[in-house]
Amino acid sequence: MNTPPTIRIAAALLTDRQDRLILVRKRGTSAFMQPGGKIQPDETPLAALIRELHEELGLVVAPSSPRYLGCFAAPAAHEQGFTVEAELFSLSTDRTLAPAAEIAELIRFDPACAPHPELAPLTRDAILPLHRTRAGS
């Protein structure tokens, strides 16, 4: 059995003061996901996260702010046949954010409210359950 090719990313379980998830949708796609992006060969996951949050949302993050949560994997949302492997960090912000670069839309998502937007598999199957567990503790 062939293992699907892997895309390595750094991603943020980014929340606001009301503990809503801040999710993004890339231009030309339909699923919402965590902000973040591909880790370049010369980058650490934390450096990639800081770079991506600045590029995508205009968010300036101190290296000491994000908390590492672990590595999570799921089928890639927009790359058929690929697996996405995310080095996930938690971070909260009350700053005003604006979509930039390849980001078409940003939402503040309360998982307790319906209806849910279309979510990327990693968000739906790994990160959302993790967020619910953390919120309940």
Q: Tell me the per-residue pLDDT of 102-127, one tens digit each, with 9 for 90 and over.
A: 999 999 999 888 788 999 999 999 99
pLDDT (tens digit, 9 = 90+) per residue, 16-28?
A: 999 999 999 999 9
pTM for this entry:
0.93
More confident residue, 134 or 15: 15
- Per-residue pLDDT, 108: 95
Q: What percent of the chain shows pLDDT beyond 70?
A: 97
- The mean pLDDT value for 71-93 works out to 95
13 token code pair: 């379980």
- Per-residue pLDDT, 121: 96
- Per-residue pLDDT, 4: 82
CB 51 within 8 Å of CB 43? yes
Between CA 73 and CA 7 the distance in angstroms is: 10
CB 19 within 8 Å of CB 135? yes
- The mean pLDDT value for 19-47 works out to 96
Secondary structure (3-state) at 132: helix
- By C-alpha distance, which of 40, 78, 48, 47 is closest to 63? 47
- Per-residue pLDDT, 113: 85
- Per-residue pLDDT, 19: 92
pLDDT of 86 above 90? yes
Average pLDDT, the chain: 93
Q: With bands split at pLDDT 50, 70 and 90, how would you rate the model's confidence at 136?
A: low
